[in-house]
Chain A
Amino acid sequence: MSKELIRLRDLTMEFDGERILDRINLYINDHEFLTLLGPSGCGKTTTLRIIGGFLNPTEGTVIFDGKCINELPPYERQINTVFQRYALFPHLNVFDNIAFGLKVAKLPKEEIAQRVNHMLEVVSLKGYGHRNIGSLSGGQQQRVAIARALVNQPKVLLLDEPLGALDLRLRKDMQIELKRIQQAMGITFIYVTHDQEEALSMSDTVVVMDKGRIQQIGKPEDIYNEPKNAFVADFIGESNILDGVMLEDYKVRFFGRTFQCVDKGFAPNESVDVVIRPEDIDIVEPENGHLVGTVTSVTFKGLNYDIIVEFKGFKWLIQTTDYQPEGATIGIRLNPEDIHIMHKSEYSGMFGDYSSYSAEYDELTADAADEEE
């Protein structure tokens, strides 16, 4: 990775006395694909709008290329944005939408035409220039919005949930497309989403946010494998989170048993959160298991089954390819690398219990989040 391009220093934002952003500190490198990930209301869009210049932070500074740009209006920043619902200009056709920024900059006509046509090719919309915006599909509008921003050759492109309005299939295609465009153009992308899968598959760096604070910054793999607290563990993928006690380095006790683990550096007998990913759990015969429990529900998910297993009154989610009927008694084994230990945090006890699990739960919350935006 190359040099630092943007740095946010102690960024704080308040609306009507309510703190939306709480001392955000973050740097973004040139050519990086960075994602702000979090549930709705976590402050990710606010952060993006401050970088874009549409909001002035209550406190803190935005440094761009070594200079503070707090006072710079949006039209003077070398930053362009792809808005949530695209915000294409309905009175202009595709070509004029894309050419808008270049025309405002009063570039010569030939250059405008050449650059717009090139952009149309980049976003695979060659020959669509004369079309009206209303006649385009959602995915096509999306690509016009990207072209309109990129044609100005900004140093940074801000994308505010750009795929939120597309259906699943199109979303997957566009994820690949966006990554390709980012690599081809060599532009820094700052991407906002609440979809953890999107964040993990596209980003160089993921910033997990909640309640106006950064919870964790890291590479997608690190975020997934080494979540810093219960919130991150739960928000990124599925997690069973249990109360445990770190006896000493590499030894953790929960459910009345002591397990080997790979974590160290905790105080002796520190009470901790133990994360066990549902896909890491091996199902074995009851007599060979570390723990024995009863299957209470089974849901077919295509790639695997989601089964809920009750251990001593606690319900765990286990993802397995082996079908287990409801009511079956099964044993499980936990390898040391399957167990991840976290310090206790304000989120402890709030996540990772599947007692009220339902297969539709995730989709429902995702929809609700969409509607809020």
Chain B
Amino acid sequence: MKKMNQWLTVLIFVFLYIPMAVLIVASFNTGKDITQFEGFTFSQYAELFRDEDLLNLLGNSVLIALLSTAISVAFGTLAAVGIHSMKAKMRNVVMNLTNIPMTNPDIVTGVSLSLLFVFVGSGLLGQRESLNFGTLLIAHVTFGLPYVILNVMPKLQQMNPALTDAAMDLGCTPVQAFFKVIIHEIMPGIVAGGIMAFTMSLDDFVISYFVTGSDFVTLPVEIYTYTKKPIHPKVYAMFTLLFALIFILVLAMNLMQIRGEKKRKSDKVDSKGVMIARRVVAAILAVAIAVGCGFLIFGNRREKITLNVKNWGMNMADGTDDTLDLIAAFEEKYPDIDVKMSYYESNEALFSQLSNGGITVDVIIPSDYMIDRMIKENMLLELNYDNIPNFSKVDEQFRNPAFDPENKYTVPYTWGTVGILYNSKYVSEEDVTGWELLWNEKYAGKILMIDNSRDAFGIAQYLLGYDVNTTDKAELQACADKLSQQRPLVQQYVMDQIYSIMENEEAYIAPYYAGDCMIMMENNPDLKFYLPQEQGFNLFTDAMCIPTCCKEKDAAEKFINFLCEPEIAGANMDYICYATPIGEAKEHMEEYLAESEIIYPEEEVLESGTAYAYLSEEISRYVENLYQEATKISASGSQEEESEGSGAVVVALAVMAVAAVLLMMPKKKKPIK
């Protein structure tokens, strides 16, 4: 029995720590991703420390965590003392009330905070930018506070209540008694609560996501928007360091507690080292608070103009992998403008952020159909093309697009196609005849499908010969039937994960964006790209626009103009691998890209491409529902791998449950003599 307990304990630890182990190994990997471990390197760490943006984000996260922790600890401790002095009945009620925000789903807290801040900021105070550093801080304090209270309360309850009396008896006022005696007794609770609040704040995504303004973004929020391409390994390095930091913090806290217990029972006086360590911690906290206050006071009084750009993740050259650091170049040219980038992960997310209000955004780069919608909903400002002379460099064919027929609102940024990526080692050329390849039963289980309703329906529509912008419900239903027919053949519905799956040949066929396919083909030469010319395909455009919440329109137009400079556009395309509408830019980019038929198909090929238009909200929702229905895992489906996977999960959970029960069982007592 005892042996078994030990084994189970080990098992549980393995279960808990394996994910971290994988991350740490990945951070030292020279290979492209975790599936191929090639060698040991510190280069990810070196790269991390060269990446100022990433370090700034980390700094932001740490700053907000320290500040919110300091505030939570101060108020939480006071609150706990107050609650403790209440009568038992009242105390229980209040404790339950403080626990609710902790158990409340983050998403609910996030949305309600966001609503509140926008209501108070925009509605009552008339601020243009109601979501800012301050609101983020308040939000983090709201969820940090209960943890401090929850940890301090038991310490207060354990404390000998006569200690307070004794202090007052010896001449302390209640306040003096708190600082001279009580605080020492409840310190372990304060520290534990503080550390919990700190870690909760450091990794909070959900709540932060809703209350983050454009002036201050934390790391998790930013990382979430890196979804267009796989996460760079230097991020693994950063996470490893973060994990190490938290690990050391918790370890140090426990050691200090053990030492403290020992010390109480022994005769030793505080060693100098401990005293110094305490001072250092206090000093760090003080500095963090000072810096935070400084930021609050002076941060918003910059002389420079701040230009807030919202973009897709990894959709602008940032200096990594020997590319141009485009923002740096722009800021060098216009020293009085400070560009702040933030990100969105889908057109729909951008739309909802803008329509929720409370933020300032000067430039956005959404896709065609979304621009259509935004124009219709009056969310975009008309551009002053006199400020964008480089618009003349935009190729004729990209002017006056369907989504902006008079070309009043947009300047195209990139364009591209959606085609089929396949592995020529496994897929015979004679099967590559059109979109039906994705329905070919020969490749059942080796097919990936793009995981968004618009593109998936688009593919079905091309295959069935319907208009891609149809609103005919019968046609849409036919498309849905087609997709559910495909369901048993599909290995997975994916977006970013496509990179590793296709490169590692775990699947052979997948529809995706041409630019991304280009990158995968570089990594695996067997991959090929195919555009079903006869049936038609999606030709998409992302264009730069200025939303109505813009504050710096002149600077925004300067920025748009800058991105249209052929040299800049060329260098930018080297990084993002999409096609540019600036013809001259081809002279300034790497040749293999400029001449790639995948990125720049022949003109006659392009003629069979069509663009998505905005469908009404009703139709969009109808399509989304059909899509979810069609791609849902059916209970009797042939998804063996998935059922195997869930079986493993069930077994693992069962093992853990049994282990937990065994560990909780009291040990047999020795007979008392």
Question: Which residues does chain B contribute within 8 Å of A54, judged by CB atoms?
Answer: 165, 168-169
Picked from B162, B171, B269, the residue with its CB within 8 Å of the CB of A87 is: B162
> In the bound complex, what is the Cα–Cα distance between A134 and B266 (angstroms)?
7
Of the stretches A99-107, A248-256, A356-364, the one at the interface is: A99-107
Interface status of A331 (Cβ within 8 A of chain B): no
Question: Which residues does chain A contribute within 8 Å of B173, judged by CB atoms?
Answer: 73, 75
> In the bound complex, what is the Cα–Cα distance between A73 and B167 (angstroms)?
12
> In the bound complex, what is the Cα–Cα distance between A366 and B195 (angstroms)?
46
Check A75–B184 contact: CB distance below 8 A.
no
Question: How does the 8 Å CB contact mask read for A47-85 relative to B, with 1 for contact and 0 for none?
Answer: 000001110000000000000000001110001110111
Known: A84-B162, A130-B269. A90 touches B171 (CB 8 A): no
**How many A-B pairs with Cβ below 8 Å?**
80
Interface status of A148 (Cβ within 8 A of chain B): yes
With both chains docked as a complex, state the minimum distance between the C-beta of A315 and any C-beta of chain B, in angstroms: 37
Check A75–B166 contact: CB distance below 8 A.
no
- The count of chain B contact residues (Cβ–Cβ below 8 Å) is 24
With both chains docked as a complex, state the minimum distance between the C-beta of A107 and any C-beta of chain B, in angstroms: 11
Check B185–A101 contact: CB distance below 8 A.
no
With both chains docked as a complex, state the minimum distance between the C-beta of A60 and any C-beta of chain B, in angstroms: 21
Residue of A nearest to B168 (CB): A74
Check B264–A83 contact: CB distance below 8 A.
no
Picked from A75, A101, A105, A132, the residue with its CB within 8 Å of the CB of B263 is: A132
Check A104–B172 contact: CB distance below 8 A.
yes
Question: Which residues does chain B contribute within 8 Å of A104, judged by CB atoms?
Answer: 170-172, 176, 180
Interface status of B648 (Cβ within 8 A of chain A): no
With both chains docked as a complex, state the minimum distance between the C-beta of B361 and any C-beta of chain A, in angstroms: 53
Picked from B160, B170, B181, B269, the residue with its CB within 8 Å of the CB of A148 is: B170
With both chains docked as a complex, state the minimum distance between the C-beta of A152 and any C-beta of chain B, in angstroms: 7
Question: How does the 8 Å CB contact mask read for B149-173 relative to A, with 1 for contact and 0 for none?
Answer: 0000000000010110111111111
> In the bound complex, what is the Cα–Cα distance between A85 and B181 (angstroms)?
16
With both chains docked as a complex, state the minimum distance between the C-beta of B200 and any C-beta of chain A, in angstroms: 28
Check A81–B166 contact: CB distance below 8 A.
yes
Interface status of B302 (Cβ within 8 A of chain A): no
> In the bound complex, what is the Cα–Cα distance between A364 and B184 (angstroms)?
38
With both chains docked as a complex, state the minimum distance between the C-beta of A99 and any C-beta of chain B, in angstroms: 10
Check B162–A132 contact: CB distance below 8 A.
no
Question: Which residues does chain A contribute within 8 Å of B163, judged by CB atoms?
Answer: 87, 89
Check A132–B184 contact: CB distance below 8 A.
no
> In the bound complex, what is the Cα–Cα distance between A87 and B169 (angstroms)?
11
Interface status of B267 (Cβ within 8 A of chain A): yes
- The count of chain A contact residues (Cβ–Cβ below 8 Å) is 31
> In the bound complex, what is the Cα–Cα distance between A130 and B167 (angstroms)?
20
Check A132–B267 contact: CB distance below 8 A.
yes
Check A80–B168 contact: CB distance below 8 A.
no
Question: Which residues does chain B contribute within 8 Å of A93, judged by CB atoms?
Answer: 269
> In the bound complex, what is the Cα–Cα distance between A149 and B268 (angstroms)?
25
Known: A132-B263, A152-B170. A74 touches B181 (CB 8 A): no
Interface status of B265 (Cβ within 8 A of chain A): yes
Check B265–A134 contact: CB distance below 8 A.
yes
Residue of B nearest to A89 (CB): B181
Question: How does the 8 Å CB contact mask read for B621-648 relative to A, with 1 for contact and 0 for none?
Answer: 0000000000000000000000000000
Question: Which residues does chain B contribute within 8 Å of A75, judged by CB atoms?
Answer: 168-173
Residue of B nearest to A148 (CB): B170
Check A135–B166 contact: CB distance below 8 A.
no
With both chains docked as a complex, state the minimum distance between the C-beta of A1 and any C-beta of chain B, in angstroms: 26
Residue of A nearest to B169 (CB): A81
With both chains docked as a complex, state the minimum distance between the C-beta of B522 and any C-beta of chain A, in angstroms: 64
> In the bound complex, what is the Cα–Cα distance between A148 and B169 (angstroms)?
10
> In the bound complex, what is the Cα–Cα distance between A93 and B266 (angstroms)?
11
> In the bound complex, what is the Cα–Cα distance between A89 and B184 (angstroms)?
9
Most B Cβ at <10 Å: residue of A81, A131, A148: A81
Check A91–B165 contact: CB distance below 8 A.
no
> In the bound complex, what is the Cα–Cα distance between A70 and B265 (angstroms)?
40
Check A74–B165 contact: CB distance below 8 A.
yes
Most B Cβ at <10 Å: residue of A73, A104, A131: A104
Residue of A nearest to B263 (CB): A132
Check B266–A132 contact: CB distance below 8 A.
yes
Question: Which residues does chain A contribute within 8 Å of B169, judged by CB atoms?
Answer: 52, 54, 74-75, 79-81, 149
> In the bound complex, what is the Cα–Cα distance between A49 and B93 (angstroms)?
29
Known: A75-B171, A93-B269, A152-B170. A87 touches B264 (CB 8 A): no
Interface status of A133 (Cβ within 8 A of chain B): yes
Known: A85-B160, A135-B266. A105 touches B171 (CB 8 A): yes
> In the bound complex, what is the Cα–Cα distance between A152 and B169 (angstroms)?
10
Residue of A nearest to B159 (CB): A90
Residues of chain B from 250 to 288 with CB closer than 8 A to chain A in the complex: 263-269
Check A90–B264 contact: CB distance below 8 A.
yes
With both chains docked as a complex, state the minimum distance between the C-beta of A139 and any C-beta of chain B, in angstroms: 17
Known: A85-B160, A87-B162, A87-B163. A135 touches B267 (CB 8 A): yes
Question: Which residues does chain A contribute within 8 Å of B176, judged by CB atoms?
Answer: 104
Check B171–A134 contact: CB distance below 8 A.
no
Question: Which residues does chain A contribute within 8 Å of B185, judged by CB atoms?
Answer: 90-91
Most A Cβ at <10 Å: residue of B160, B171, B268: B171
Question: Which residues does chain B contribute within 8 Å of A149, judged by CB atoms?
Answer: 169-170
Check A152–B171 contact: CB distance below 8 A.
yes
Known: A75-B172, A91-B185, A104-B180. A83 touches B166 (CB 8 A): yes
Question: How does the 8 Å CB contact mask read for B283-319 relative to A, with 1 for contact and 0 for none?
Answer: 0000000000000000000000000000000000000
With both chains docked as a complex, state the minimum distance between the C-beta of B473 and any C-beta of chain A, in angstroms: 71
Check B162–A85 contact: CB distance below 8 A.
yes
Check A83–B170 contact: CB distance below 8 A.
no
Question: Which residues does chain B contribute within 8 Å of A80, judged by CB atoms?
Answer: 169-170
> In the bound complex, what is the Cα–Cα distance between A75 and B269 (angstroms)?
29
Known: A74-B165, A135-B267. A91 touches B172 (CB 8 A): no
Residues of chain A from 110 to 149 with CB closer than 8 A to chain B in the complex: 130-135, 148-149
Question: Which residues does chain B contribute within 8 Å of A152, judged by CB atoms?
Answer: 170-171
Question: How does the 8 Å CB contact mask read for B542-568 relative to A, with 1 for contact and 0 for none?
Answer: 000000000000000000000000000
Residue of B nearest to A101 (CB): B170
Question: Which residues does chain B contribute within 8 Å of A53, judged by CB atoms?
Answer: 168
Check B263–A83 contact: CB distance below 8 A.
no
Question: Which residues does chain B contribute within 8 Å of A135, judged by CB atoms?
Answer: 265-267
Known: A83-B166, A85-B160, A104-B172. A91 touches B266 (CB 8 A): no
> In the bound complex, what is the Cα–Cα distance between A91 and B278 (angstroms)?
15
> In the bound complex, what is the Cα–Cα distance between A132 and B260 (angstroms)?
12
Question: Which residues does chain B contribute within 8 Å of A131, judged by CB atoms?
Answer: 267
Check B166–A87 contact: CB distance below 8 A.
yes
Check A133–B264 contact: CB distance below 8 A.
yes
> In the bound complex, what is the Cα–Cα distance between A52 and B165 (angstroms)?
9
> In the bound complex, what is the Cα–Cα distance between A26 and B145 (angstroms)?
50
With both chains docked as a complex, state the minimum distance between the C-beta of B412 and any C-beta of chain A, in angstroms: 69
Residue of A nearest to B181 (CB): A89
Question: Which residues does chain A contribute within 8 Å of B265, judged by CB atoms?
Answer: 132, 134-135
Question: How does the 8 Å CB contact mask read for A220-260 relative to B, with 1 for contact and 0 for none?
Answer: 00000000000000000000000000000000000000000
Question: Which residues does chain A contribute within 8 Å of B172, judged by CB atoms?
Answer: 75, 104
Residue of A nearest to B165 (CB): A54
Picked from B160, B170, B184, B267, the residue with its CB within 8 Å of the CB of A100 is: B170
Question: Which residues does chain A contribute within 8 Å of B167, judged by CB atoms?
Answer: 89, 100
Question: Which residues does chain A contribute within 8 Å of B171, judged by CB atoms?
Answer: 75, 101, 104-105, 152
**A contact residues vs B (CB 8 Å cutoff):** 52-54, 73-75, 79-81, 83-85, 87-91, 93, 100-101, 104-105, 130-135, 148-149, 152
A-B contact pairs, 16 of them (CB 8 A): A54-B165, A73-B168, A74-B168, A75-B168, A79-B169, A80-B169, A85-B162, A87-B160, A90-B264, A91-B185, A101-B171, A132-B263, A132-B264, A135-B267, A149-B170, A152-B171
Shortest Cβ-Cβ A-B pairs, 10 listed? A101-B170, A87-B162, A134-B264, A91-B184, A87-B166, A104-B171, A74-B168, A83-B162, A81-B169, A134-B265
- Further 5 A-B residue pairs, CB within 8 A, beyond A79-B169, A93-B269: A75-B173, A91-B181, A91-B184, A132-B263, A132-B268
